[in-house]
């Protein structure tokens, strides 16, 4: 989306309505960036670094959209004139990485005092983090959270006009601001937020505290955004939400996720639809049918298990049992045999015994996951699980983790091999990282295939013969 900032008069007061207010601040921030350009004798550069999930990646595209609109050039180098970290706090190692990288930024800033450093995202919604930043990271210029990211242009302006650290954190919001600029990473595919926040309060998870309550976007706004993206060259979309299966429940005219998918399917020119994430407790029969009948919905479902033990699932507040999960997963396998099922697993939740881990491995072997992300439980302050007394010893977690990982690798390898010799459609995403004579494409089931080809194929759907399975990917050739 292009906004004409020339039309905006900076001698007027800032409008109070959104998104007009942000357009006004984009015009004002652009004046500051122009001033900086004169001073430096070159175009100012900025770097956006993303931690965390697809939701954060999409938010970063919004940050980039605004930074480009106000005149920055985008670079991947963190030694830039403006650097922003979009943070994640789902596990402690995500936080530690942010602190580590901040140290390096401080070094750059000492040499370039005009440099501005900003932090946003999930980690900033934790008051202990803000206290620590104020105390020990005084060189940071701007801090904001997840609920007011739409105000980025306004906050950036404040950062130019005010001395000291600018901090703006909201506890929650019911607001969704549409029509702000976005600059996507890939011209041919894009994430789309269909909802924000989460109401599930899984007992280990910090997301509901840092992303607030569940809010769905209006179907009309979603469809319009996708139509605009398609007109701009997008052929694959990923519908994003923490639990897409509860999409639409809180709208004025409630809609189901399956109904939304039916509408998205009708968009002409759109070739592929993905979505993430599906909570098993809310996955409807209607969704299975829509997936089964669809020509566009990809043959991939990410269905987080977390644990295969009913006892642990109860402690996690996941609202399903081992048997219910198995029944659902196996029904999906039966209804849509060529689907790829992937999952998330946590090992070491409070109270977990080796017997519980065995239950998890049992589910892995029965469902035969095509892939799984396995995480070691991380204690998140403020969540109910953090206060549980029966935290598991590190050594036991390590042993269970290794065994679960091995089970996952075995099923994944076996599953991957089942496409050997098939011809499938792949969306070419990029030149192969290691061999520039190859391109890398993504299959409907989310697996990657590498095959001979050039840059002109990027963004195209091509038919590929899957010649050689290498565990998690294929080597192939175009047919």
Interface residues toward ligand F3S, by CB under 6 A: 52-53, 55-56, 88-90, 122, 207, 210-211
Q: Are 432 and 450 in contact (CB under 8 A)?
A: yes
Neighbour order of strands in the sheet with 236-240? 189-193, 236-240, 272-276
With CB atoms as reference, the residue minimizing the distance to ligand F3S is: 52
Task: State how far the Cα of 14 lies from the Cα of 175, in Å rounded to an integer.
Answer: 19
Q: Which of ligand F3S, ligand SAH, ligand SF4, none has residue 247 at its interface (CB below 5 to 8 Å by kind)?
A: none
Task: Report the residue from 25, 325, 377, 401 that binds ligand SAH according to the rule CB under 6 A.
Answer: 377
Asked whether position 473 contacts ligand SAH by CB under 6 A, the answer is no
Task: Report the residue from 123, 346, 449, 458 that binds ligand SAH according to the rule CB under 6 A.
Answer: 346
Q: Which is nearer to ligand SAH, 139 or 375 (CB)?
A: 375
Task: State how far the Cα of 180 lies from the Cα of 376, in Å rounded to an integer.
Answer: 37
Task: State how far the Cα of 166 lies from the Cα of 460, in Å rounded to an integer.
Answer: 44
Residue 187: its H or E element = none
DSSP E strands: which ranges in 78-188?
Answer: 82-87, 116-121, 142-144, 166-168
The pair of three-digit structure tokens given for residue 39, joined into one six-digit string: 């001073």
* Segments in 112-214 forming alpha helices (H): 127-136, 152-161, 207-211
Q: Which of ligand SF4, ligand F3S, ligand SAH, none has residue 408 at its interface (CB below 5 to 8 Å by kind)?
A: none
The pair of three-digit structure tokens given for residue 456, joined into one six-digit string: 């002109």
Residues of this chain that interact with ligand SF4 (CB under 6 A) are: 198, 200-202, 205, 207-208, 242-243, 279
DSSP E strands: which ranges in 350-422?
Answer: 371-376
User: What's the closest the beta carbon of residue 55 comes to ligand SAH, in angstroms?
Assistant: 9
Q: Which is nearer to ligand SAH, 118 or 367 (CB)?
A: 367
Q: Which of ligand SF4, ligand F3S, ligand SAH, none has residue 60 at its interface (CB below 5 to 8 Å by kind)?
A: none
Cα distances from 299 to residues 3, 400, 458, in angstroms, run 37, 31, 21
The pair of three-digit structure tokens given for residue 469, joined into one six-digit string: 């399975």
CA angle 463–465–468, rounded 5-degree value: 145
Look at the block and give the residue holding tokens 């909201």. Answer: 170
The helix/strand/coil state of 323 is helix
CA angle 189–195–201, rounded 5-degree value: 125
Q: Which of ligand F3S, ligand SF4, ligand SAH, none has residue 377 at its interface (CB below 5 to 8 Å by kind)?
A: ligand SAH
Q: Which is nearer to ligand SAH, 160 or 377 (CB)?
A: 377
Task: State how far the Cα of 3 lies from the Cα of 378, in Å rounded to an integer.
Answer: 43
Q: Which of ligand SF4, ligand F3S, ligand SAH, none has residue 346 at its interface (CB below 5 to 8 Å by kind)?
A: ligand SAH
Asked whether position 51 contacts ligand SAH by CB under 6 A, the answer is no
Q: Which of residues 90-129 bind ligand SAH (CB under 6 A)?
A: 90-91
Asked whether position 374 contacts ligand SAH by CB under 6 A, the answer is no
Task: Report the residue from 306, 307, 340, 445 that binds ligand SAH according to the rule CB under 6 A.
Answer: 306
User: What's the closest the beta carbon of residue 455 comes to ligand SF4, in angstroms?
Assistant: 38
* Stretch of 33-41, 140-148, 204-212, 393-401 contacting ligand SAH, by CB under 6 A: 204-212
Q: Residue 38 burial by CB count (10 A; 0-12/13-18/19+): exposed, middle or buried? A: exposed
Q: Which is nearer to ligand SF4, 116 or 279 (CB)?
A: 279
Q: Which is nearer to ligand F3S, 133 or 357 (CB)?
A: 133
The pair of three-digit structure tokens given for residue 462, joined into one six-digit string: 């091509």
Q: Which of ligand SAH, ligand SF4, ligand F3S, none has residue 56 at its interface (CB below 5 to 8 Å by kind)?
A: ligand F3S
Q: Which of ligand F3S, ligand SF4, ligand SAH, none has residue 208 at its interface (CB below 5 to 8 Å by kind)?
A: ligand SF4
The pair of three-digit structure tokens given for residue 418, joined into one six-digit string: 């089942």
Instruction: Give 342's strand partners.
Output: 302, 371
User: What's the closest the beta carbon of residue 360 comes to ligand SAH, in angstroms?
Assistant: 12
Positions that interact with ligand SAH (CB under 6 A):
90-91, 204-205, 207, 242-243, 277, 279, 304, 306, 344, 346, 375, 377-378, 380
């Amino acid at each position: 989306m292009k906004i004409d900032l020339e039309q905006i008069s900076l001698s007027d007061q800032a409008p109070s309505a959104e998104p007009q207010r942000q357009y006004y601040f984009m015009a004002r921030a652009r004046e500051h960036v122009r001033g900086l350009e004169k001073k430096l004798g070159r175009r100012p550069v900025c770097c956006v670094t993303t931690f965390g999930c697809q939701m954060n990646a999409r938010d970063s595209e919004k940050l980039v959209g605004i930074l480009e609109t106000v005149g920055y050039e985008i670079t991947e180098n963190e030694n830039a004139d403006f650097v922003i970290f979009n943070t994640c706090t789902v596990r402690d190692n995500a936080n530690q990485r942010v602190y580590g990288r901040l140290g390096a930024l401080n070094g750059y800033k000492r040499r370039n005092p005009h440099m501005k450093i900003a932090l946003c995202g999930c980690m900033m919604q934790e008051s202990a983090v803000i206290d620590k930043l104020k105390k020990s990271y005084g060189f940071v210029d701007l801090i904001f959270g997840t609920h007011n990211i739409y105000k980025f242009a306004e906050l950036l302006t404040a950062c130019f006009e005010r001395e000291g650290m600018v901090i703006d954190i909201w506890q929650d919001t019911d607001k969704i601001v549409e029509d702000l600029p976005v600059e996507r990473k890939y011209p041919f595919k894009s994430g789309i937020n269909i909802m924000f926040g989460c109401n599930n309060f899984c007992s280990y998870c910090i997301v509901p505290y840092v992303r607030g309550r569940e809010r769905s976007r209006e179907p009309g706004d979603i469809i319009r955004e996708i139509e605009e993206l398609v007109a701009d060259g997008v052929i694959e979309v990923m519908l994003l939400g923490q639990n897409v299966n509860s999409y639409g429940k809180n709208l004025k005219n409630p809609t189901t996720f399956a109904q939304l998918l039916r509408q998205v399917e009708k968009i002409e020119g759109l070739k592929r639809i993905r979505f993430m994430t599906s909570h098993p407790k809310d996955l409807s029969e209607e969704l299975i049918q829509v997936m089964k009948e669809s020509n566009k919905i990809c043959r991939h479902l990410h269905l987080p298990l977390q644990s295969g033990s009913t006892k642990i699932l109860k402690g996690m507040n996941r609202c399903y049992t081992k048997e219910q999960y198995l029944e659902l997963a196996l029904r999906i396998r039966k209804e849509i045999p060529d689907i790829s099922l992937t999952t998330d697993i946590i090992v070491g939740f409070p109270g977990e015994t080796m017997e519980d881990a065995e239950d998890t491995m049992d589910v892995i072997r029965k469902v035969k996951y095509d892939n799984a992300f396995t995480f070691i439980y991380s204690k998140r302050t403020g969540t109910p699980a953090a206060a549980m007394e029966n935290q598991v010893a590190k050594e036991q977690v390590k042993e269970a983790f290794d065994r679960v990982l091995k089970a996952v690798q075995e099923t994944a390898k076996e599953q991957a091999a089942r496409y050997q010799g098939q011809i499938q459609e792949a969306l070419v995403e990029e030149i192969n990282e290691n061999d520039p004579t190859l391109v890398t494409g993504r299959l409907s089931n989310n697996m990657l295939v590498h095959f001979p080809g050039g840059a002109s194929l990027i963004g195209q759907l091509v038919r590929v013969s899957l010649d050689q399975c290498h565990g998690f990917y294929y080597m192939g050739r175009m047919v």
